[in-house]
Amino acid sequence: MLTNDLDFRLEPKLIELYEEHKKRSEKIDWGYHDFLPWDKGMDFRRVPWDKSQVTLPPAVITAVETALLTEVNLPWFTSHLDQTFKGSLTVIKDFVHTWTAEEDQHSNLIETYLLLTRNVDPKRLHQLHKDTVENGWNPDYQTPFETMVYTSMQELATMVFYNNVAKVAGQHDKDLSSLLRRLAKDETLHYAFYRDVIKFHLQLEPNYCYHLANVIMNFQMPGTVMPDFEDRMSIIAKEANYGPLEYFDQVLDVIVDYWELEKLRPIAPEAEKARLDILRYHARLKRVRDRFYRNNK
């Protein structure tokens, strides 16, 4: 009753989801070379980097750099998904392969942009990149359903992050704003697949609520392994348009509503308790959000 595997009865629906994803993805297929200001490129050997060459505000650089250091974890994330879905539904494993191919150029786009525009010290960026990948990433969720819940939230949060930072970045560099919005479109399609897989399971068996609570109430982005993560997120929240308030309004509130947790009625007592725990957690954060807005009018 409280299985944490994906339900084979849903495979035909999930195949339809996957086919729809591929059709939508083909319509917006892209190469990262199309989004880069190549005319700004200079040879670092002939023109060494100097901080006077930086053109973006520190907070925007921090946000873009943080996005890069999240994206470079792709090998670890892919390895985790591959192991988690081994023996699960074939369509999910197929989607993970497609997802990996689509995500693969994200870090290339961001890193090349930062180097071309000289908004970062290339030696420092190289070391940060290396250290982050070397640290690895091992999520707490090792089962198919929980991992699918996590990826739903992670893709939505990443989409929101890119779109929100793009609004701030656009005031300083239209190229940067465009490439961030381009990345957000990929994340939107990925989020749509993962979230609907979860919704179909909840509609078929509301007792899956039991496995939602742990992920939703302990959600963290994979970027937590990067150096100075907390300091970075504090800067981004204050100056780059993504923090706890945006997380509640544009991620948590959205996903709780989309999965219709208010309406679900699990039969298993543990599943119903988990559902109510999520709703209480959501209500508590909403009160915090509302109090903040009242005090900052």
Q: Is the pLDDT of residue 63 over 90?
A: yes
List CB contacts of 74: < 8 A, sequence separation 6 or more.
100, 103, 104, 106, 107
3-state secondary structure of 242: coil
pTM, rounded to two decimals: 0.96
User: What is the Cα–Cα distance from 238 to 256, expressed in whole angstroms?
Assistant: 25
Pick left, alpha or beta for residue 252 (phi over 0 → left; psi -120 to 50 → alpha; otherwise beta). Answer: alpha
1 has a pLDDT exceeding 70: no
Residue 52 has pLDDT above 90, yes or no: yes
Residue 2 has pLDDT above 80, yes or no: no
User: Per mean pLDDT, which range of 28-32, 49-53, 62-66, 96-100 is the poorest?
Assistant: 28-32
Model confidence pLDDT, tens digit, residues 183-211: 999 999 999 999 999 999 999 999 999 99
- The average confidence (pLDDT) of the chain is 95
Torsion of CA 62, 157, 160, 137, to 10 degrees: 40
For residue 70, pLDDT over 60 is answered with: yes
pLDDT digits (tens, 9 = 90+) for 199-251: 999 999 999 999 999 999 999 888 777 889 999 999 999 999 999 999 999 99
Neighbours of 28 (CB within 10 A): 11
pLDDT score recorded for residue 139: 82
> Would you say residue 118 has pLDDT above 80?
yes
pLDDT of residue 77: 93
Tell me, what's the pLDDT at 297? 73
